[in-house]
Amino acid sequence: MDKQLPLFDVRTGNHILSLGVTEQRFQMLLLGSFAAIGLLLTGIGLYVVLSYAVVSRTREIGVRMALGASRSVVFGLVMGKAFMLVAAGVVIGMSGSFASNQFIRTMIYGIDPWNPGLLAARYGSLSRPRSSQPTSRPGGPPRSIQF
């Protein structure tokens, strides 16, 4: 090699490798962003549906509590409805995830879509619903028994 020749377009090996996966990295970032937005909208939707269910059953809850039902029984009724909604969402989401495995296989280089870590990341957010918030009211008993 001649020391007098000028160098041009000098890059490290890591930089050259990262240029090769830039498009896939962007697609995964976009897919992850849409997934996060979808998860946020799902949480908001679940909260709204359960809030509506509790508000529409306020009189029933008041009558049950007036007849001696404990808070845990009423909480169990509301959480039972929440569990049914979450279970339906998990079934639909898992079937969609299994159907999209081929697409995921093309997007992720070197990782099997059936990888336990990847499956845990896909379904981990579904395992803990935050649906107990609509049933709690700070400052005393439910509105239905205050009248």
In this model, does residue 92 exceed pLDDT 50?
yes
Task: Give backbone dihedrals phi and psi of 87, rounded to 5 degrees, phi first.
Answer: -65, -40
In this model, does residue 10 exceed pLDDT 60?
yes
Tokens of 14: 């890591």
In this model, does residue 129 exceed pLDDT 60?
no
Are the beta carbons of 49 and 89 closer than 8 angstroms? no
In this model, does residue 37 exceed pLDDT 90?
yes
User: DSSP string spanning 101-131?
Assistant: HHHHHHHSTT--TT-HHHHHHHHHTTSS---
CB proximity list for 54: less than 8 A, separation 6 or greater = 61, 78, 134, 135
Mean pLDDT of the chain: 77
State pTM to two decimals: 0.53
Write down the domain spans for the chain.
19-145
Residue 133 — very low, low, confident or very high, per pLDDT cuts 50/70/90?
Answer: very low
Q: Which residue has the higher pLDDT, 106 or 139?
A: 106
In this model, does residue 147 exceed pLDDT 50?
no
